[in-house]
Chains A and B, each alone.
Chain A
Amino acid sequence: MSEELSSIDRVQTLLRAHAYVADRALSTVVYLALKLQRPVFLEGEPGTGKTEIARTLATALGRRLIRLQCYEGLDASSAVYEWNFAAQMLAIRAAQATGDAQAIKDTLFGPEFLIERPLLEAMRPQPGGAPVLLIDEIDRTDEPFEAFLLEALSDYQVTIPELGTIKATEAPIVILTSNRTREVHDALKRRCLYHWVDYPAFQRELDILTARAPEASATLSREIVAFVQRLRSEDLFKKPGVAETIDWAKCLLALDVVELSPEVIADTLGAILKYQDDIARLQGLEASRILDEARQSLAPS
């Protein structure tokens, strides 16, 4: 393990230096994952920065980021490897024509015809050290694939019948994320360090926003965060995540807004709320009431 990650504090500082504001709990989990070479299982509402941590880690450590986006029906051939069958077929035909049968026999199931997919790629040594493997939205796959992942994640190896077992020389840094649209099986979770990524508290969200959208004025940032925090306590169908806060701030900056007002909020509500029901509720008086309350919560400090 590299020098800059030899303690929890250093992990936190390093992430911070790359514009990711992690709380102590998340830093601890990341530190443990690196030290014990265990996958991290991050669960939480959408937009709380689960995917982002993988990206930041990869940049901060100077590693390659390999991303496996999960979807229903994802299977081994699109996650691990596939043979380039068309090329193999052509090679066989060519060999038949030239009578060079033995040569083709040796190379047919060799690296030349192997198409590597994310999981296998992650097992390969990469320049700059083991890569960061992001298995995103694991809750979207079906259960057979989850079971398939068990081997890959506990021993960091994959088995290809024609080539044998390929084991990673250096364990990749694995981050799994889930939005909890369904429960992921315990067997998979048991192999990981678990962390629930919650909505951040006011100060941390403000730190995140300052790190991500530094061009926003301090006053505007505070107003934005206070408003979003207040909004999360409302009875909404989908509460805005941190990603939405950042989007919204950027959106307001693009419109040269210096101060929130009910009209501005009404115009840009689509950046923070993604359901028509929620938007309809927030139109008009509701928005100005929440804005007032948010301003009041800012007043004493």
Chain B
Amino acid sequence: MARYADLSIPEDGKLVDNITHFARALRRAGLPIGPGRVRLAIEAVAAAGFARKPDFYWTLHAVFVNRPEERQVFNQIFRLYWRDPRYLEHMMSLMLPAIRNVAEEKAAESAAKRAAEALLDGAQAPEPPQSGDDSDNTEIQIDASQTASADERLRHLDFEQMSTQEMADAKRMLARLHLPVRPLKTRRLRPSPTGRRPDWRASMRAALRHGGEMTRIYRRAPATRWPALIVLCDISGSMSQYSRMVLHFVHAVANRRGQGWSKVHAFTFGTRLTNITHHLRSRDVDAALNAAGAQAQDWQGGTRIGACLRAFNVDWSRRVLGQGAVVLLISDGLDRDDPALLGHEMQRLHLSSRRLIWLNPLLRWDAFAPRARGVRAMLPHVDSFRAGHNVASLDALARAISDTDDHGEKARLMAMLND
């Protein structure tokens, strides 16, 4: 390896510099590498030597890579960098400002849009009604009653029939809804006065304080923890309006602290499955949903529910459903694929989740019957089947989610299915 000849003397600092620069390149590519890692890398290379390129590669790999998905990035940057360090530096310096500008512009754009909207709203807001000489009291009363009835109407208005203004109001209502959930018992113990297991450690400590006289037995009971919520949201053409609203709701749930759920994972599917969980962490709901939409890229495409559920079952279910998760499936169940596959994957999803709740906007019609092949295949494998087409229905979901006896409309529709 002739090109490493000049690297072989650590004392001249060149190797150290090179590793440091290499680490910087990796960091720019998104790998989380701190100074501690760089030091470890230098130590490791000094320990392993660099007589052979594969050893050098695997040494740096062991130090810098932390996740399987980082291997690809590492591999590419390694090849680029150790061919000619300056080349990559050059490329990075050429590219980075461009990337940074785009990112900044994007952020500014979204912020500017909202600022403009806010300003416009202010400008176009109707003048406060001239109330003449009426007393303040009466005016407030009338106003309040109107708001209440408007809210009530909005609660029951179908998402699809809403105007932009109503949509915005509904989003605000959704953001206030809760999804309360019951905690799960774990094997971890915590002190509890009514617990069934004696806590010898605590009892002894207390006894020692009284000169070895045990005055009271302390007790422990299983600690509780919150389950995770997994949202699988259909974003195909027929669903797009609903899924946007439901995702607004999910965003609110994911970002409310102290409301139960340990984690909220969200996936969208249409023609393929997309994990949008990290977009939900964005505080700004519009930015989050835009980012999610950009990643999903199949908004309003066709639907392949079976294949997408399969993708979820194979790639994700063991990773996110492990700890007693509740699954919320939002779909109209109109699938063009093989119903056998769909039924099969639904069954697997059902078996690996604690509770599987299906929200279907089509259920808003009284005449809804499980006629579509997709619906017939999916229905037997859910715990609860509910409507999800307006604010009121999502509110009802909030009340039903931790009620294990709640089956929604499942029994009624199953009866129709069996007829």
A28–B58 CB distance below 8 A: yes
For the complex, count residues of B whose C-beta is within 8 A of A: 42
A29–B187 CB distance below 8 A: no
Known pairs A29-B62, A182-B322; A85 contacts B204 (CB<8 A): yes
0/1 per residue, B176-197, Cβ < 8 Å to A? 0000000000111100000000
B34's partner among A71, A82, A190 (CB-CB below 8 A) is A190
Q: In this assembly, does B113 line the interface, its C-beta being within 8 Å of a C-beta of chain A? A: no
Q: How far is the CA of A73 from the CA of B207 in the complex (A)?
A: 27
Binds B, one of A127-135, A193-201, A216-224, A253-261: A193-201
**Cβ of A190: which chain B residues have Cβ within 8 Å of it?**
34, 36-37, 66
Residues of chain B in range 291-340 having any CB-CB distance to chain A below 8 Å: 313-314, 318-320, 322-323
**Cβ of B117: which chain A residues have Cβ within 8 Å of it?**
none
Q: In this assembly, does A248 line the interface, its C-beta being within 8 Å of a C-beta of chain B? A: no
Q: How far is the CA of A82 from the CA of B204 in the complex (A)?
A: 12
B201–A29 CB distance below 8 A: no
**Cβ of B65: which chain A residues have Cβ within 8 Å of it?**
194, 196
B58's partner among A25, A96, A189 (CB-CB below 8 A) is A25
B344–A277 CB distance below 8 A: yes
Interface SS of B by simple majority: helix
Q: In this assembly, does B399 line the interface, its C-beta being within 8 Å of a C-beta of chain A? A: no
Q: In this assembly, does A92 line the interface, its C-beta being within 8 Å of a C-beta of chain B? A: yes
Q: In this assembly, does A10 line the interface, its C-beta being within 8 Å of a C-beta of chain B? A: no
**Cβ of B319: which chain A residues have Cβ within 8 Å of it?**
180-183
B212–A92 CB distance below 8 A: yes
A189–B314 CB distance below 8 A: no
Q: How far is the CA of A190 from the CA of B62 in the complex (A)?
A: 11
**Cβ of A31: which chain B residues have Cβ within 8 Å of it?**
47-48
Residues of chain B in range 38-80 having any CB-CB distance to chain A below 8 Å: 40, 43-44, 47-48, 54-55, 58-59, 61-63, 65-68, 71
Q: In this assembly, does A146 line the interface, its C-beta being within 8 Å of a C-beta of chain B? A: no
0/1 per residue, A184-228, Cβ < 8 Å to B? 001001100111100000000000000000000000000000000
Number of A-B contacts (CB under 8 A): 96
Known pairs A72-B187, A189-B66; A28 contacts B204 (CB<8 A): no
Q: How far is the CA of A196 from the CA of B67 in the complex (A)?
A: 8
For the complex, count residues of A whose C-beta is within 8 A of B: 38
**Cβ of A181: which chain B residues have Cβ within 8 Å of it?**
318-319, 322
A142–B188 CB distance below 8 A: yes
What distance in Å separates the Cβ of B375 from its nearest Cβ neighbour in chain A?
23
Q: How far is the CA of A72 from the CA of B204 in the complex (A)?
A: 26
Known pairs A73-B188, A180-B319; A28 contacts B62 (CB<8 A): yes
- A1 to chain B: closest residue by CB: B47
- B223 to chain A: closest residue by CB: A73
Top 8 closest A-B pairs, CB basis? A73-B187, A85-B200, A28-B58, A73-B188, A193-B62, A35-B47, A25-B58, A29-B62
Q: A25-B61, A196-B71 are in contact. List 9 more A-B contacts (CB 8 A).
A: A8-B48, A24-B54, A36-B40, A96-B212, A186-B32, A189-B66, A189-B67, A195-B61, A277-B344
B→A interface (CB under 8 Å): 32, 34, 36-37, 40, 43-44, 47-48, 54-55, 58-59, 61-63, 65-68, 71, 186-189, 200-201, 203-204, 207, 212, 214, 225, 313-314, 318-320, 322-323, 344, 348
